[in-house]
Amino acid sequence: MDNPVRLPTRLFATQKKMDGYYAADMRYGDLSQHCLQQHFGLRDISTRINPFTYKDRDHSARVLFDEFRQLSDTFSFIGEYQLIIRKMINHMQYCYGEKFTDPLLDQALAGHSSMESSLGKIREAFTSNTDWQQGYFPRTGFEDLTLRISDSALPKFNNWMDRINGLTISVHDTSATHITLESLKINANDYKATVYYRIQDHFGLDDNDITHLLYRQFRIFRIWFVLQRWEGYGFRPFISEMSASKMLEGSRFDKI
């Protein structure tokens, strides 16, 4: 007889690790004015000041952050999550790269439609691989469960509503995802499970972001890149982290 899975147990982890502070989009203060202007073509930065010639560096940074916040409203103007991006911009300005968390991000993740892809695969695996006669989930079914999750779309904020409620500009795609099975009860023909998601994203821009033909057209990204990457400023990007516990219920007779 195969052994049951011991709980809690990790069901899935992305290849990218948690706390990826050495990622390309986590660099800061590493580029010169010459590089920004000549290599990246960043000359039209702000409608208010020229950051490269303005004499008071601290004041110019405050002006750029104010413009950064104002421009973010274009991507975040409806719903309960619309102020998250302003919180994150403030965090970049004042918190020196500390990790960012917010209950609203956790709430947004827990209720987001993109969760359903991986959760659906987990349900399929429970229905297919549970030993219903013995009443447990065997370790032989673990590999199939992990493969099913790998074949799913992981949570991210990129639907049409996310693009106007602030979640796309705040998080968009994610960097690292861990999915853990915290509890599983099997009773006759039914099961109940608790699945925990821990997800991280990087609030920072890399070279590919600013050379992207679409993104570089928006002033908000040019300001963001200069605030983060110019050696004259070097404001630190940071990791945003969110989590959610999902309760699953199903039956051996569920359709797959």
List the pLDDT tens digit at each of the 256 positions of the chain: 567 778 899 999 999 999 999 999 999 999 999 999 999 999 999 999 999 999 999 999 999 999 999 999 999 999 999 999 999 999 999 999 999 999 999 999 999 999 999 999 999 999 999 999 988 898 888 889 999 999 999 999 999 999 999 999 999 889 999 999 999 999 999 999 999 999 999 999 999 999 999 999 999 999 999 999 999 999 999 999 999 999 999 999 888 7
Task: Give start and end residues of each alpha helix (H) in 113-252.
Answer: 115-129, 142-150, 162-165, 167-170, 207-211, 219-229
| 3-state secondary structure (DSSP) of residue 235 | coil
What pTM did the predictor assign? 0.94
Residues 87 and 74: their CA atoms lie apart, in Å, by: 15
Q: Is there a contact between 216 and 222 (Cβ–Cβ < 8 Å)?
A: yes
Q: Is there a contact between 171 and 240 (Cβ–Cβ < 8 Å)?
A: yes
* Cβ atoms < 10 Å from Cβ of 144: 14
Taken as a whole, the chain contains a residue count of 256
Cα→Cα distances 69→218, 221, 233, Å: 13, 11, 17
Query: Which residues make Cβ contacts (< 8 Å) with residue 75, sequence separation at least 6?
Result: 85, 163, 164, 166, 168, 169, 220
